[in-house]
Amino acid sequence: MSDKSTNTHHWGPGAASGVGSMPGGDAREAVKTVTGSLEALPYLPELPARGPGADMIGRTAGMLVELYAHVEPSGWRISDRPGRDTRRARAWMGEDLDALEEFTQGYQGALKVSAVGPWTLAASLELRGGEVVLSDPGACRDLTASLAEGCRAHLAEVRRRVPGAEVVLQLDEPSLTSVLRGSVRSASGYRTHAAVDRGVVEGALRTLVEAAGGPVVVHSCAPAVPFGLLRRAGVEGISFPLSLLTESEEEAIGEAVEGGTALLIGAVPGTDAPLSDPAGSVSGVRTLWRRLGLSPETLAESVVITPSCGLAGASPGYARAALAHCVQAARSLADNPE
């Protein structure tokens, strides 16, 4: 497979980043660690250890426009009006943005923020009757529109606070494959919701890409990432763990790289583990490139190295070490692509 891509991404070659979450509950400490570790593609961390509203679903529910949610024993559920849970989610986001603004004074460059994508949100957020939004196509459309408006406002706020940033929106879509396959379980657990048409899935994602008004990355830590569908939706990058790749996906990955799509590859363990030498951590990435017949010169431009998933389950010391390791591993790809 030849490589025709000469695409250069907003973060430049040899970049490293994180996926989203960090351990602990101190926003200032988390942002200080992330911005101090990552020069090319820092991100606004999520701190789910703080509790409901800081988890990825609650955090994104707090961003919705004219849709509200509260916590039930079964999870987050649509509400008639904003209540305590919505206020708490928004207050924590405000704290996070204050910390981000503090530690990015004078920053120029790419900066990543996250929200749950429309399909994982639809598969997780419950309607008033207890069934998930995914069960109702009209509710899915309303949720997508609300999320698009919420993301637009959130990105505008980040750009206002960090005026030198090229803001990158990451949509977390771990349930995307289940939505496409029709394997999301109903509230009773006895049946599954019908697969959503691929064109409808793609259209909702494109709505978010258009609302972002800048680069969008989709992250999935589930097997069988739909690379082709995501590219057609207009995303700039696709984020996934290296360990979940199978041979059947390699052709789609090769086509994505040739088409100029960035790959954010999770190559470093997301929970406490011994870290080998950084070059060893990305040997699988080099091997993949050789198998695809792609030009080694494009490797550092096309790939960002990340942990395999969020770092919420790691110790604080390991989380710092993992980010530093990602930076060194990305540098080794740039210095020695073969």
Is residue 124 a contact partner of residue 185, using CB atoms and an 8 Å limit? no
Strand order in the sheet with 303-307: 109-116, 165-172, 216-219, 237-241, 262-268, 303-307
pLDDT, tens only, 8-52: 788 989 999 999 999 999 999 999 999 999 999 999 999 999 999
Token pair 């598969």: residue: 123
pLDDT at 104 (0 to 100): 97
Give the torsion through C-alpha atoms of 310, 95, 56, 155, to 10 deg: -100
CB atoms within 10 A of CB 140: 23
Per the CB < 8 A criterion, the answer to whether 115 and 151 are in contact is yes
Any idea which residue has 């709505």 for tokens?
A: 207
CATH of domain 25-257: 3.20.20.210
pLDDT in tens, 212-229: 999 999 999 998 999 999
The residues spanned by each domain of the chain are 25-257
DSSP state of 192: B
Instruction: Provide the pLDDT confidence category of residue 247 given band limits of 50, 70 and 90.
Output: confident
φ, ψ at 262 (rounded to 5°): -80, 150
N-term to C-term CA, the chain:
16
pLDDT at 4 over 50: no
The residue behind tokens 């390991």 is: 318
In this prediction, what percent of the chain has a pLDDT beyond 70? 98
Q: Which 3 state secondary structure label does DSSP give 299?
A: helix
pLDDT in tens, 291-306: 999 988 899 999 999 9
The candidate with the shortest Cα–Cα distance to 298, out of 283, 286, 284, is 286
Q: Yes or no: say if 172 and 84 are a contact pair by the CB < 8 Å rule.
A: no
Pairwise CA distance, residues 166 & 149, whole Å = 19
Confidence of residue 338 (pLDDT cuts 50, 70, 90): confident
